[in-house]
């Protein structure tokens, strides 16, 4: 989407052009070991400057073909038109997450995925956001109280603050308010331990080793897994005894039916609850951490955000009905998701022979789309590396459906899209009315991709009270 001339003129008149950090883009080809290191440390750093212009990049690793798509028409062809062929997650993703999620819909495909998707989608769909908004609002208000108590000049790790806040929201949503408050810490600790001990790149699959060959996960990863499973099994037991809140996601999963009208087993309920917990909190947390950082670096954006919040809310806390009035706040979140999509790489494996851009794709080949790279392709976006929320502002043309894909696209599109967007807007709007966050002087922010894209391992900022 090209920026309108008026927006260009305004940015130039104010003399501000902020380019937030992105990984170094190579101009010479990387050798095998350099690529190996980058794959392990920061996958988005593997792309070269030329890759950003290429619609399709083809490579072969030992016996496996890899197609990297960087073009809206090809995204449409793969993720929508050829969904049947390209719906499976990569072996790397499956092996990293299956021990945790079991057959949960995030890592499953074909009939099993379709049945689970039919059961889960209506529970967290956009139409349910109004019901979940009070949990969001009450949790954000608690954070406002905690930050106010910390006071002017307090030091915060904003990445960790946002991770805790969004974990609380999703925990209360899944387990119900009372149980959620008790359990968030325990589940989050289990997840973090698991993530710290699991190898995200499964090299055995890249050299073509079949799925059935067992992959080794160390004892620490197994311990973390057992902890998460025990906590959730315990909750499910309590719900089964009628002790849970029926409106909570677990209560709804008990009533849900798969595509064939069958109830979910206890094991399936556990797996889907873990999927929603995992998929639904770190993504929103990273979005918010990046948004705080970006807002802190742009006087223009900060002033416009405050102007909107003061005019629309005047000090009162926003609720679900305010979302449609907070157009600039939404634009900040959408621009944040363009520059730093929390899932920066979407990977698929071909279940059968397919076709991409006129090339035959063999069964088993890997297909990858990087929303991070696609969202910065100069042929699609003007000022692609600049932070310019105005491009998503009211009255601007929406970007193409297959060019802007922070929530993926096609039948596997994120079912928590509206939930995550609403939570991010409500959090930014509530807290930015009362506080400003200043980056700790001397701290260098870095875009780092492990399973999700984060501003480094922490985001130290200073709290300033507004007005
Ligand atoms: C800003 C916040 C969020 C972002 C950017 C995001 C992004 C994504 C993306 C890109 C995928 C597809 C991954 C792939 O195909 O490899 C996905 C899937 C999923 N997301 Fe989200 N998500 C967000 C919030 C949420 C929330 C709040 C929930 C739950 C309440 C959620 C639940 C799910 C589930 C269940 C899936 C799996 C869908 C399937 O495989 O059919 N997400 N999300």
Please give the average per-residue pLDDT across 310-336, as a whole number.
96
Q: pLDDT band for position 209 (50/70/90)? A: low
Please give the average per-residue pLDDT across 338-347, as a whole number.
97
SS3 per residue for 411-445: CCCCCCHHHHHHHHHHHHHHHHHHEEEEECCCCCC
Task: State in Å: Cα 417 to ligand 1 middle.
Answer: 7
Q: Determine how β-strand 460-465 pairs with β-strand 155-157.
A: antiparallel
Question: From the CB of 340, is ligand 1 less than 6 Å away?
Answer: no
Q: From atom 26 of ligand 1, which residue's Cα is the shortest distance away?
A: 280
User: Residue 211 pLDDT more than 80?
Assistant: no
The CATH code of the domain that includes 199 is: 1.10.630.10
Model confidence, pTM: 0.95
Q: Which of 59-63, 101-105, 157-161, 280-284 has the lowest mean pLDDT?
A: 59-63
Burial 46-67 (b: 16+ CB within 10 A, else e): bbbeebbebeebeeebeebbbb
Q: pLDDT band for position 187 (50/70/90)? A: confident
User: Residue 50 pLDDT more than 60?
Assistant: yes
Task: State in Å: Cα 414 to ligand 1 middle.
Answer: 4
Q: pLDDT band for position 93 (50/70/90)? A: confident
Structural domains of the chain, count: 1
Q: What pLDDT is recorded for position 102?
A: 92
Q: pLDDT band for position 194 (50/70/90)? A: confident
User: Residue 355 pLDDT more than 90?
Assistant: yes
Q: What percentage of the chain carries pLDDT values higher than 70?
A: 93
Distance CA 303, CA 288 (A): 18
Q: pLDDT band for position 199 (50/70/90)? A: low
Question: From the CB of 112, is ligand 1 less than 6 Å away?
Answer: no
More confident site: 418 or 41: 418
Question: From the CB of 105, is ligand 1 less than 6 Å away?
Answer: yes
Give the tens place of pLDDT for each residue, 406-433: 999 999 999 999 999 999 999 999 999 9
Nearest to 185 by CA among 140, 231, 248: 231
Mutate to test the pocket of ligand 1, among 103, 167, 414, 451 (most ligand atoms within 8 A of CB): 414
Q: What pLDDT is recorded for position 155?
A: 98
User: Residue 103 pLDDT more than 60?
Assistant: yes
Q: What pLDDT is recorded for position 40?
A: 80
Tell me the sheet residues that pair with 458: none
More confident site: 8 or 40: 40
Domain range for 159 is 5-465
Q: Supply 242's token pair.
A: 């009628």
* Phi, psi angle pair for 23, to nearest 5°: -65, 150
Question: From the CB of 124, is ligand 1 less than 6 Å away?
Answer: yes
Q: What percentage of the chain carries pLDDT values higher than 90?
A: 74
Mutate to test the pocket of ligand 1, among 283, 290, 427 (most ligand atoms within 8 A of CB): 283
Distance of CA 149 to the CA centre of its chain: 30
Question: From the CB of 371, is ligand 1 less than 6 Å away?
Answer: no
Question: From the CB of 251, is ligand 1 less than 6 Å away?
Answer: no
Distance CA 33, CA 41 (A): 12
Nearest to 290 by CA among 460, 455, 458, 44: 455
Task: State in Å: Cα 283 to ligand 1 middle.
Answer: 8
Q: Supply 30's token pair.
A: 């990387």
- The string of DSSP letters for 144-174 reads HHHHHHH-TT-EEEHHHHHHHHHHHHHHHHH
Q: pLDDT band for position 179 (50/70/90)? A: confident
Question: From the CB of 20, is ligand 1 less than 6 Å away?
Answer: no
Mutate to test the pocket of ligand 1, among 109, 279, 349, 402 (most ligand atoms within 8 A of CB): 279
How many separate helices (H) and strands (E) can be counted in the chain? 16, 11
Q: From atom 14 of ligand 1, which residue's Cα is the shortest distance away?
A: 346
Q: From atom 11 of ligand 1, which residue's Cα is the shortest distance away?
A: 414
Task: State in Å: Cα 463 to ligand 1 middle.
Answer: 30
Q: pLDDT band for position 202 (50/70/90)? A: low
Question: From the CB of 420, is ligand 1 less than 6 Å away?
Answer: yes
Q: What pLDDT is recorded for position 3?
A: 64
Does residue 340 contact residue 44 with C-beta atoms inside 8 Å?
Answer: no
Question: From the CB of 274, is ligand 1 less than 6 Å away?
Answer: no
Q: Supply 330's token pair.
A: 């939404």
Q: pLDDT band for position 29 (50/70/90)? A: confident
Question: From the CB of 354, is ligand 1 less than 6 Å away?
Answer: no
Q: Which of 184-188, 410-414, 445-449, 462-466 has the lowest mean pLDDT?
A: 184-188
Please give the average per-residue pLDDT across 37-48, as a whole number.
89
User: Residue 213 pLDDT more than 70?
Assistant: no
Task: State in Å: Cα 314 to ligand 1 middle.
Answer: 33
């Amino acid at each position: 989407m090209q920026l309108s001339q008026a927006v260009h003129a305004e940015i130039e008149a104010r003399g501000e052009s902020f380019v937030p950090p992105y990984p170094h883009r190579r101009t010479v080809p990387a050798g095998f070991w350099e690529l190996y290191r980058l794959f392990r440390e920061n996958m988005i750093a593997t792309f070269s400057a030329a890759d950003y212009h290429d619609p399709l990049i083809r490579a072969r690793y030992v016996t496996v073909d890899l197609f990297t798509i960087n073009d809206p028409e090809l995204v449409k062809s793969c993720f929508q038109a050829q969904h049947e062929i390209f719906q499976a997650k990569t072996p790397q993703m499956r092996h990293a997450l299956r021990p945790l999620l079991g057959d949960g819909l995030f890592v499953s495909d074909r009939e099993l995925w379709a049945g689970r998707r039919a059961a889960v989608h209506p529970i967290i769909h956009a139409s349910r956001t109004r019901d979940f908004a009070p949990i969001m609002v009450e949790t954000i208000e608690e954070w406002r109280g905690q930050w106010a108590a910390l006071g002017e000049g307090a030091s915060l790790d904003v990445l960790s603050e946002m991770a805790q806040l969004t974990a609380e929201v999703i925990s209360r949503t899944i387990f119900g308010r009372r149980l959620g408050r008790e359990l968030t810490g325990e589940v989050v600790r289990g997840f973090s331990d698991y993530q710290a001990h699991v190898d995200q790149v499964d090299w055995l699959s890249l050299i073509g080793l079949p799925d059935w060959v067992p992959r080794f996960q160390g004892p620490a990863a197994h311990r973390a897994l057992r902890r998460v499973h025990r906590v959730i099994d315990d909750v499910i037991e309590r719900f089964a005894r009628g002790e849970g809140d029926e409106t909570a996601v677990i209560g709804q999963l008990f009533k849900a039916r798969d595509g064939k009208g069958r109830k979910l087993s206890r094991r399936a309920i556990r797996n889907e609850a873990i999927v929603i917990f995992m998929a639904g909190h770190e993504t929103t947390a990273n979005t918010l951490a990046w948004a705080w950082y970006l807002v802190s670096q742009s006087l223009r954006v900060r002033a416009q955000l405050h102007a909107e919040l003061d005019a629309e809310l005047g000090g009162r806390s926003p609720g679900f009905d305010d979302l449609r009035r907070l157009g600039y706040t939404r634009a900040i979140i959408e621009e944040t998701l363009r520059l730093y999509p929390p899932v920066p790489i979407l990977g698929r494996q071909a279940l059968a022979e397919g076709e991409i851009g006129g090339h035959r794709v063999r069964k088993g080949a890997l297909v990858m789309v990087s929303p991070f790279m696609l969202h910065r392709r100069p042929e699609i976006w003007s000022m692609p590396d600049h932070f310019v929320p105005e491009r998503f502002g009211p009255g601007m043309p929406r970007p193409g459906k297959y060019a802007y894909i922070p929530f993926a696209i096609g039948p596997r599109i994120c079912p928590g899209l509206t939930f995550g967007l609403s939570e991010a807007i409500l959090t930014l709007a509530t807290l930015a009315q009362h506080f400003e966050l200043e980056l700790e002087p001397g701290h260098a922010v870095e875009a780092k991709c492990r399973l999700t894209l984060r501003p480094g391992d922490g985001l130290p900022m200073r709290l300033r009270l507004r007005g």
